[in-house]
Structure 1
Amino acid sequence: MVLLQTRRGALVQDRFPDLAAAARSLPNGLVLDGELAVLDHHGQLSFTALQRRATAGRNARALAAEMPAHFIAFDVLQHDGQELLDEPFARRRQVLEALFAEHRLGPPWTLCPWTTDPAVADEWLREWTNVPGVEGVVAKGLTGRYRPGGRGWTKVRRRNSTEALISAVTGSLHRPQVLLLGRYDTTGRLRLVGKTVPLKPGPAQDVAEHLTAAGPVHLWTGVRFTASWNNRTPLEPALVAPVLVAEFSADVSQDRGVWRHPLRYERLRLDADEADVPLFGET
């Protein structure tokens, strides 16, 4: 029996029939930990394509043929029916590498690379994160056991600083909480690029002093916003004149020009204006 289970416990093998079929060639009594990945038509990792696959219904097989899934293996939790949760990571890694070597596993199976050399990890963080969809590196202790429901490891994301226009806020103009940042595309349309984490009191007051309420015409009038990628709770932000430039830091995880994770507000750029802000889709 082949089961594909999400972090939250949902079974999704019916939505990924290509992986379920490929898994039948794996040995029995095997439990792997890893991440699903789907490439778009340009051969790049795509969160949107993964979402389409994850919510597929009757068209699951058609989508599998159009956008095949891949499994990137991080860890092995059971091998040949033997539970390995209490084994140190170094031992589990040996078992995982032996599995790939003995069964000559190739696509859709990918063995996540690893190193004990900090210089190599630093190079990965600087160079590999130029690939869309690759956010950073993960650090694990060699002696650590696997803790279901807990991480026991540290994710180090690459972060870059850039600018966008403050185009709406949650809370109020007097007490802004979260900034909704936008950029213009080549057609003059104002596009959302991301939302910040909640502002601390000092920066919130600084931003509030410079906000101007939107006039009767705003390019986001009637646009619906949700809390996040995974939270479809609707937001009702206060629209503001998109003239203030905010500098923010973000990781490299973007999907179609939009940052997937919350942005970190750094400061107002009162020395800059709309012409200094990159266009939508630029970094």
Structure 2
Amino acid sequence: MVWTLPEPMLAEPVNNPALPPGFAAEPKWDGYRALLARYADGRVVIRSRRGTDMTAAFPEITRAAASLPAGVEFAMDGELIVWEGGRVAFERLQGRLNRTAAGAAGMAAQWPAHYVAFDLLRLNGTDPDLAAQPYTARRAALEELFTDQALAPPWTLCPSTTDPATAAEWLEWSAVGMEGLVLKNLRGTYRPATRA
């Protein structure tokens, strides 16, 4: 059976950004939300939150995923961002989707994107999928994948904390291009097309 990317789990705004007990906080980046799959045969798919195929628009990310060792299979949820001058530069992402392959390669060379991974939905044919596991198990598996594969730029592991003081400090990161916080239930599963 061929496995396909699920619909993304969506964030929902809240009035109080304080981190409640039993939740983790992650920075919300100003970029393109993207699900990324790397199949065992080396094929890579990058899909937007709305289902648009973005694989050709981000050749640097596609190459990085394809270059991992044979047999490594995973699906991640994350954000495509571009850093410029010490901050996230959303404007450098704009226009990527409407470029020819040569145009996308040129933009990638000038303003390379990073993939900030914040969730792991599948790893090496896990059955059941990791999406059915609680956030704590998915996060541990994501951190292990970064360690085991020595993932370095363009890969970035999204910070995560259960410390309310750290989460509150992250709210001050707007100058670097963070839009707020995403709060995740430590026991919550990944529920496609539903709110976090």
- 1 CA distance for matches of 2:143 and 2:86? 26
1:168-179 alignment, distance < 5 Å: none
Instruction: Report if aligned partners of 1:33, 1:75 keep a CA contact under 8 Å in 2.
Output: yes
Alpha carbons 2:115, 2:154 under 8 Å: kept: yes
**Correspondence for 2:178:** 134
| Selected match of 1:119 from 165, 183, 186 | 165
Q: Could you tell me how far apart the structure 2 residues matched to 1:28 and 1:55 are? A: 30
* 8 A contact 1:38–1:49 mirrored in 2: yes
Contact 1:28 1:81 in 2 (8 A): no
What TM-score do the two structures reach when normalised by structure 2?
A: 0.72
Q: Larger deviation: 57-66 or 137-146? A: 57-66
One-letter identity of the residue aligned with 2:162? T
Task: Give how far 1:151 is off.
Answer: 2.6
Tell me: higher relative CO, structure 1 or 2? Use CA pairs within 8 A at least 6 residues apart. Answer: 2
Inter-partner Cα distance in structure 1 for 2:170 and 2:46: 29
- Is 1:38 the counterpart of 2:86? The answer is no
Instruction: Look up the match of 1:2.
Output: 44
1:72/1:109 contact within 8 Å kept: yes
Hey, what's the Cα distance between the residues in 1 that align with 2:45 and 2:188?
A: 26
Matched, 1:105 2:138: no
- The aligned counterpart of 2:66 is 24
Q: How does 1:122-271 map to 2 (within 5 A)?
A: 122-126=168-172, 128-131=173-176, 133-152=177-196
AA aligned opposite 2:57: R
Instruction: Name the residue aligned to 1:13.
Output: 55
User: Unaligned stretches of 5+ in structure 2?
Assistant: 1-42
Cα distance in 2, alignment partners of residues 61 and 101 from structure 1: 28
Larger Rg: 1
Post-superposition offset of 1:12? 1.1
1:55 aligned residue: 98
Q: CA deviation at 1:120?
A: 1.1
Deviation at 1:43, TM superposition (A): 4.4
Does 2:114 correspond to 1:70?
yes
Structure 2 Cα separation of the partners of residues 55 and 112 of structure 1: 27
Read off the aligned partner of 2:131 and give its amino acid letter.
Answer: L
Q: Does the Cα contact within 8 Å between 1:85 and 1:147 map onto a contact in 2?
A: yes
Can you list the C-alpha shifts for 1:203-250, whole angstroms capped at 9, x where unaligned?
xxxxxxxxxxxxxxxxxxxxxxxxxxxxxxxxxxxxxxxxxxxxxxxx
- Give yes or no for the alignment of 1:84 onto 2:163: no
Secondary structure of 2:145 counterpart: helix
User: Residue by residue, what CA displacement relative to the aligned partner does 1:60-105 show, whole Å, maximum 9, x if unpaired?
Assistant: 1111101101000010000011111110000000000001111111
Q: CA RMSD in A?
A: 1.4
**Quick check: which one's helix share is greater?**
2
Counterpart-to-counterpart distance in 2, 1:55 and 1:44: 24
Equivalent-residue separation in structure 2 for 1:121 and 1:62 (angstroms): 37
**What TM-score, normalized to structure 1?**
0.51
- Give, as a single letter, the amino acid of the residue that structure 2 aligns with 1:38: V
1:117–1:43 distance in 2 versus 1, CA, 3 Å: closer
Q: What is the letter of the counterpart of residue 194 of structure 2?
A: G
Structure 1's unaligned 5+ residue stretches are 153-283
SS at match of 2:45: coil
- 8 Å contact from structure 2 (residues 82, 88) kept in 1: yes
SS of the equivalent of 2:81 reads strand
